[in-house]
Amino acid sequence: MFRIIPLIICCSFIGLSVTAQKKNDAFQLHIRKAVSPVKIDGIIDEAAWLQADVATGFHMILPMDTSAALLRTDVRMTYDDHNLYLVVENYTSGDGPYMVESLRRDFAFLKNDNFIMFMDPFDDQTNGFAFGANAAGAQWDGLMYDGGKVDLSWDNKWTSVVKNYPDKWVFEAVIPFKTIRYKKGITKWGINFGRNDLKTTEKSSWAPVPRQFPSASLAYTGNLVWDAAPPPAGANVSLIPYLLGGMSKDYDKNTPTKYRRDAGLDAKVAVTSSLNLDLTVNPDFSQVDVDKQVTNLDRFELFYPEKRQFFLENGDQFSNFGYTTIRPFFSRRIGLGGVPIRFGARLSGKLNKDWRLGVMNMQTGKQEETGLPAQNFTVAALQRRVFSRSNLGFIFINKESINYDPSKVTDKPVYNQYNRNMGLEYNLASSNNFWTGKAMLLKSSSPNKTGHDIAHAANLQYTSKQWNIGWQHEYVGRNYNAEVGYVPRQGYIKVAPQITRLFFPLSGPVLSHGPQVTSTWFFEETNMHRTDNETMLNYGIVFRKRNTLNVWASNTYIKLLQPFDPTNTGKDSLFTGSQHNWNTVGADYVSKPQSLFTYALSARYGGYYADGTRLMTNTELGYRFQPYVSIALSANYNNINLPKPWGNNSFWLVGPRLDVTMTNTLFFTGFMQYNGQQKNMNLNTRFQWRYRPASDLFIVYTDNYLPEPFWVRNRALVLKLVYWFNI
């Protein structure tokens, strides 16, 4: 039976991937060359704007998608030989201030009054760009991929202004053609405009989008029709050097203070109008946010997201290949843990409307402390669009140790000379986005590991307004090895069905509600014996004010495949083969985003390993003095009661955070974390001054403390200056 299911799913993929006309093809905004210069000031008085066509008559997405938007929004666009221009009049109703979090770039969409443009310059309904702002003027930009996801790590040079009036706020922007990528000669781009207004709790778009999908869904764009082909972007080379100075001291090891004087360079070269070459020499990522800590009660390696911009920008072809726990490539394997990156290059973008290419090569240096040799990492991905919105992808990953000789490092960890992975992946996206899915096959190659080195997974999901039905299965062989990936578990077969049903009251405070059932099963690869199973029943309620409530109950069964300490504190371990079963109940509540004071509460109580019990509570509080100051506090508490030798264990994880946005170019962030399980407290502060577009000054200070007794473990101070040159 299990072998038949993948075949059924793969056949379903082909049947669902049919070419169809774009849903909102009738929505057209004609764009003409500007008849006058345009000044970016939020005042619509230029002849170019007065003669431009207007996109208006927006459609409501939330609370319901069956009517016209209550608030009026007017959009105009024009261009000249070098730039694309946009101006938007966002009309409002009622008195009171606009709802915004802060002036920080790339704000949370649902927590701000905002306007965002979603642009598909290849008209392939899969990839594009997003530009927007909130009502206080904070910018929002990102690369679009997978038909409706936005990578906010992408920053580039463009300018905008927001001006407030008694009855509206106006957003005006200029986007250089050099900033974006588009196919030469194309005269029709996919485009849509999305707006979020918290006072009325209305989310709307120009071309209508069903409420179950994000307004960024490229399957539902209208058309931007040019009066002539957009001008070529021309030569586009950017140099981004940095200078860095800093100092650090390790009090644990009582070593002398270390001083840093460093420099490096990034370069961006537009090979074609849609293909970009990124180069980096001696990169530094000291300004990146520290990882958000968690109380670790898991049997397997935890996943921490990548935050370094060089790896994030346009990296979806690499990082999105696979599944959450079957990632053949995970960029955090490169250059962390004290391993220096010497240089790297990435060629990425579109070859034409149907083909995408991504090639990356990174070189690291030798790490003396562990004996890890210098290593080279190569990743190559090729993607071909098929049918209307689906694609077929190929990936190859190679990690190679340079001048590797294991005989010279016998007293230190020995690393494989090489590790290679290659795979194929089919991504399904039906023309109306109701059917989505993925089928994937991977093979690894390492010294002394042969056989059972395959990984396969597939899923199929149907999403309508009332129903969300999905199926996923996975197989990972016991010798499958992805040293540059994230695959925390080997030697298993997994099956995970889920179903959700939503109901929509015609009136009252509740917008939607309904049950969800999920069940996840793990089996041993060799004999199909069950090792894990969790079945959960959840009932969710979404209120019209956008606050949410979920209550749930679950049953968990685990058979340990290796010894495990259920407190992860280094105490005694439960033995291999022991079986554990328990029930848990829980609830989660998130407050409405319109309030200046927001909060999220969650709690769970139930059984645990070895007939123990576990109580977990989590609280997230936030208050904003908009738009300048935002204060947040997260507190997580776990109480685990087990028989001896573990006994009663309580773990606190507390993290206050302060965000100050003095202007939309001056930012300060202070973040502290106390982790009772790891007995560590850390402080991270960062000052950022964006003194020119895409050019920054960073001052970063970090501290780590031992809380009992209070003692400094290590601290560091870094000053970094980045400048963006366009050649």
- What single-letter amino acid sits at 41? D
Contact 478, 452 (CB under 8 A): yes
Structural domain includes residue 460: no
Whole-number pLDDT of residue 96: 65
**What are the backbone dihedrals phi and psi of residue 388, each rounded to the nearest 5 degrees, phi first?**
-80, -45
Q: 670-675 long-range CB contacts below 8 Å, 24 or more apart?
A: 671/289, 671/290, 673/290, 673/292, 673/293, 674/707, 675/293, 675/295
Structural domain includes residue 103: yes
SS3 for 356-388 is EEEEEEEEECCECCCCECCEEEEEEEEEEEECC
Whole-number pLDDT of residue 407: 63
What is the rounded distance in angstroms from the CA atom of residue 12 to the CA atom of residue 502? Answer: 25
DSSP designation for 255: P
Helix (H) or strand (E) holding 13: helix 4-16
Structural domain includes residue 130: yes
Residues in CB range of 446: below 8 A, 6 or more apart:
416, 418, 419, 420, 453, 481, 483
DSSP designation for 293: P
Structural domain includes residue 196: yes
Structural domain includes residue 466: no
Tokens of 485: 């990936």
Q: pTM to 2 decimals? A: 0.87
DSSP designation for 318: H
- ω into 230 cis (within 30 of 0): no
SS3 for 215-251 is CCCHHHCEEEEECCCCCCCCCCEEEEEEEEEEEEEEC
Contact 139, 105 (CB under 8 A): yes
Structural domain includes residue 655: yes
DSSP designation for 350: E
Contact 515, 503 (CB under 8 A): no
- What single-letter amino acid sits at 670? G
What is the rounded distance in angstroms from the CA atom of residue 443 to the CA atom of residue 460? Answer: 22
Pairing label, strands 59-62, 202-205? antiparallel
Q: What is the mean pLDDT of the chain?
A: 90
How many distinct structural domains can be found in the chain?
2
**What are the backbone dihedrals phi and psi of residue 57, each rounded to the nearest 5 degrees, phi first?**
65, 55
* DSSP, residue by residue, 434-467: SEEEEEEEEEEEBTTB-SS-EEEEEEEEEE-SSE
What is the rounded distance in angstroms from the CA atom of residue 154 to the CA atom of residue 9? Answer: 35
Last residue of a domain, one of 170, 202, 226: 226
Whole-number pLDDT of residue 493: 97
DSSP designation for 622: E
What is the rounded distance in angstroms from the CA atom of residue 273 to the CA atom of residue 267? Answer: 16
Q: Which residue has the tokens 């009932």?
A: 539
Distance set, CA 17 to CA 332, 430, 431, 438, 663 (Å) = 34, 6, 8, 12, 47
Domain containing residue 500: 491-678
Q: Is the dihedral of CA 574, 577, 579, 584 positive or negative?
A: positive
Q: Which of 431, 483, 432, 434 is CA-nearest to residue 461?
A: 434
Whole-number pLDDT of residue 647: 93
Whole-number pLDDT of residue 416: 80
Q: Coil, helix or strand for 11? A: helix
DSSP designation for 14: H
Distance set, CA 644 to CA 571, 572, 573, 613 (Å) = 10, 9, 11, 13
What is the rounded distance in angstroms from the CA atom of residue 483 to the CA atom of residue 704? Answer: 29
Q: Which of 459, 496, 491 is CA-nearest to residue 475?
A: 491
| CA geometry: angle 279, 283, 284, nearest 5 deg | 150
Helix (H) or strand (E) holding 665: none
**What are the backbone dihedrals phi and psi of residue 690, each rounded to the nearest 5 degrees, phi first?**
-90, 85
Helix (H) or strand (E) holding 662: strand 648-663
Tokens of 668: 């300060």
Distance set, CA 404 to CA 214, 411, 420, 485 (Å) = 49, 15, 16, 21
Q: How many CB atoms within 10 Å of residue 123? A: 21
Structural domain includes residue 150: yes
Strand partners, 190: 120, 223
Structural domain includes residue 405: no
Residues in CB range of 161: below 8 A, 6 or more apart:
40, 41, 42, 137, 171, 172, 173
CATH of the domain at 179: 2.60.40.1190
Whole-number pLDDT of residue 64: 87
What is the rounded distance in angstroms from the CA atom of residue 504 to the CA atom of residue 722? Answer: 51
What is the rounded distance in angstroms from the CA atom of residue 686 to the CA atom of residue 714? Answer: 17
What is the rounded distance in angstroms from the CA atom of residue 654 to the CA atom of residue 681? Answer: 9
The ranges of the chain with pLDDT < 70 are 1-21, 96, 234, 369-370, 406-415
- What single-letter amino acid sits at 569? T
Q: Is the dihedral of CA 649, 300, 607, 655 positive or negative?
A: positive
